Every structure is written in C-alpha cells, then in structure tokens.
Amino acid sequence: MLNNLKTVGLMALLTIILMVIGGAIGGRGGAIVALVLAGVMNIGSYWFSDKIVIRMYKGQEVNSGMLYDVVSELCERNNLIMPRVYMIPQDTPNAFATGRNPQHAVVAATQGIVHLLSREELMGVMAHELSHVRHRDILIGSVAATIAGAISYLAQMGQWAMLFGMGGSDDEDGGGNMFVMLITMIFAPMAAMLVQMAVSRSREYAADRGGAELCGNPHYLASALRKLESANHQRPMHDVNDATAHMFIVNPLSGKGLQSLFSTHPPMDERVRRLEAMA
C-alpha cells in the first residue's frame, strides 16, 4: 500500500513539473502539444511491448521445462492468467515481464538464470515478474515515460524559442520570462528523469513484496536476488538496450560508469532487507 501511494505521489509530481514547464515555456497549448507528441511516441512501444522486447532479445517461447512449470504452478495457485513464457539465449542470469495487460503478458528469463537458481529461487523470481503483470506496471511505466517525454519536448521548444529571441508564451497563458525559461529548461528535464526513475524503483519494491506473497516465502526471492546481483556484476549482459534496462529484475547496466548513479532499481541490500523483514 505504501509503495502504491508513493507511486501516485510521484506521478502527481511529474504532472506538476509538466504544468510548470508548460506554463513557463509553451503555455497550456504548448504543454498539450508536447504531451500528445510524447504519447504518440510511447503508445506503440506500450501496445506492442511484448513483441518488440522479445524480438530485441531473440526470445524463444517455451511450453515445457522447469521455467514453464514454475510459472504455470504460480498462476494455478494464485488464480492468475497464464502468460506466454520465453527463454532468452543469454548466459547472464536475469528476467523480465512485459505486455500491455494480463491477457497479453509475457514473462521471460535468460538461460543463465535457470542454470544458476534452485527451483524455489526461480519461483521467487517469476512470482516477482507475475506481480509486475498483476499490477500493470508496464502501463504505469509507459505513462511516466510519456509525461517525462513531454517535459523533454517542452525543454526543446524552449531552446528554439530562446534561439529565435522569443520570451515564451504570453501572460494570459502563464508564460515566463527568459530567465525562468532558462532555469526551467535546465532543471525540469533532469527532475522529470529522476522522478521517472523513482517511479521505477517504487514499482520494484512493490513487485518484490507481491512476488513474495505469490510464491509464499520471501526467502526464495531474497536468496535469488543475492545470486543475481553477484552474477550480473561478474559478467554483465551484452547488447542491452538502455530503454529496456528498467524491465529486468536486476539492473543489467549495473557497474557501467555514471549510469549507476541514476538507477532504475533500488539498492539490492534494501530489497533483501525488506524481504527478510516480511518473513
């Protein structure tokens, strides 16, 4: 419940940032145009997310084996819609879920995760992914990305306005002066990015808790997360698309320079601590 409230608060904060930068740079009309543009850019990736991401990572659908059996058992036990199950041909252990709703959901895991984890640990991981599906986290992430994208578009509009000597929108629409535009263009996109990442971290905490409840034992997931974190530091995934990194259960980009400072994932020690506290 607390993480859900936090997500609502963060989404509201993103909306406020959009309204502020819209008033400073483009007025109400500019904010609407930017939101529409960002929505068009994101709706395709949201609607076809299952096909796009699976094709990106060369996933192969499976209908038998331990991975499939674990997902099937979790769905039957918790009365969930059975998603399609895919194996990703990578040795680095990781997993993700995607799809616009439970009826079009996909859960996927790399070959490495099946080799590394016990059946109970794998159950914890797939329960985490099913929790993402159950709570429609792909939709939440897409809405956050759309609002953050609109803010970036508005900042670009402000750059062009300053380049051609325009001071923003008129007073009736709440336009700001050049100084306000400059400050807004610099800090609003950065703030939006940080809030978007905070939304992602909040959903990871919620999926950890939901996954622990679905599989019936928080220690399953806690133990798996420790192993996954260690393995991904030792041999990070190759050919990872930055735009999809937030989908994985552990950050496949961890340890890659400054990216670790702007993580879409919560600290692993805190995730494990919360799970162990549940037990």
Q: What local confidence, expressed as pLDDT, does residue 213 receive?
A: 96
Residue 144 pLDDT exceeds 50: yes
- The predicted-structure confidence for 228-253, as pLDDT tens digits, reads as follows 999 998 888 887 877 788 889 998 87
Distances in Å between the Cα of 71 and the Cα atoms of 17, 61, 122, 154, 238 are: 40, 13, 9, 43, 26
Distances in Å between the Cα of 24 and the Cα atoms of 35, 144, 148 are: 15, 21, 16
Single pTM value for the model: 0.77
Segment 210-230 mean pLDDT? 96
Segment 200-218 mean pLDDT? 94
| Alpha carbons 155 and 37: distance in angstroms, whole number | 13
Spatial CB neighbours of 68, under 8 Å, sequence gap ≥ 6: 62, 85
Residue 276 pLDDT exceeds 80: yes
Q: Is 128 assigned a ligand-binding role in the annotation?
A: yes
Is residue 121 packed enough to be buried (19+ CB in 10 Å), middle (13-18) or exposed (0-12)? buried
Q: What local confidence, expressed as pLDDT, does residue 35 receive?
A: 65
Position 169 confidence tier, pLDDT thresholds 50, 70, 90? very low
Catalytic residue among 61, 73, 129, 270: 129
Name the more confident of 45 and 279. 279
Q: What local confidence, expressed as pLDDT, does residue 14 receive?
A: 67
Q: For 38-55, give one letter per residue: b (16+ CB within 10 A) or e.
A: bbeebeebbeebbeebbe
Q: What local confidence, expressed as pLDDT, does residue 245 receive?
A: 81
Q: What local confidence, expressed as pLDDT, does residue 208 receive?
A: 96
121 is catalytic: no
Strand partners, 87: 60, 109
- The predicted-structure confidence for 20-78, as pLDDT tens digits, reads as follows 666 666 566 666 766 676 666 666 666 666 777 888 899 999 999 999 999 999 999 99
Residue 185 pLDDT exceeds 90: no
Name the more confident of 73 and 155. 73
| Alpha carbons 225 and 271: distance in angstroms, whole number | 8
- The predicted-structure confidence for 120-131, as pLDDT tens digits, reads as follows 999 999 999 999
Least confidently predicted of 107-111, 117-121, 181-185:
181-185
| Alpha carbons 108 and 106: distance in angstroms, whole number | 6
Position 199 confidence tier, pLDDT thresholds 50, 70, 90? confident
Q: What local confidence, expressed as pLDDT, does residue 250 receive?
A: 93
Q: What local confidence, expressed as pLDDT, does residue 50 receive?
A: 72
Mean per-residue pLDDT over the chain, rounded: 80
| Alpha carbons 248 and 270: distance in angstroms, whole number | 17
Q: What local confidence, expressed as pLDDT, does residue 260 receive?
A: 47
Q: Are 106 and 82 in contact (CB under 8 A)?
A: no
